[in-house]
Amino acid sequence: MTEEIGIFQQGESVGIIATYTTQAGVASNPTQGVTVTVIDSEGTTQVDAVAMSTSVTGTYTYEYNLDAAAAKGWWRTQTKAQEGTGDTARYVIQNGGFTVE
């Protein structure tokens, strides 16, 4: 599992990438997909559990466009994958982030 971390300027696009594999290391798509949450440096949720896109097995992406007046500092990201539903649902949560200068 990985999540990209970088430094960005106000007005730029941030590519958020999350990868998922089985315990054997084989790329895998969670049955219920993957969502992303983006929280700015002031603690305001900018994106709340939005579905990420996938075009390659096990790799999920989301493009976040920073506003020209985006808060500077450390922004947090969280991706959440769900396998199964109901009482048998399992989750993988990845935390990451990026800096806005």
Domain boundaries, the chain: 7-100
More confident residue, 59 or 5: 59
For the chain, the maximum distance between any two Cα atoms, rounded to a whole number of angstroms, is 44
Q: What pTM, to 2 d.p., does this model score?
A: 0.90
Q: For 8-36, how does the pLDDT look when each residue is reduced to its tens digit (9 = 90+)?
A: 999 999 999 999 998 899 999 999 999 99
- pLDDT above 90: residue 95: yes
- pLDDT above 90: residue 3: no
Enumerate residues 6+ apart whose C-beta is below 8 A from 87. Answer: none
Q: For 35-85, how does the pLDDT look when each residue is reduced to its tens digit (9 = 90+)?
A: 999 999 999 999 999 999 998 999 999 999 999 999 999 999 999 999 999
Query: Which residues on neighbouring strands pair with residue 96, listed in sequence order?
Result: 77
C-alpha separations of 97 from 6, 24, 43, 61 in Å: 8, 27, 13, 14
- pLDDT above 60: residue 4: no
Q: What does the block give as tokens for 29?
A: 């798509």
Region 7-100: CATH code: 2.60.40.1930
- pLDDT above 70: residue 1: no
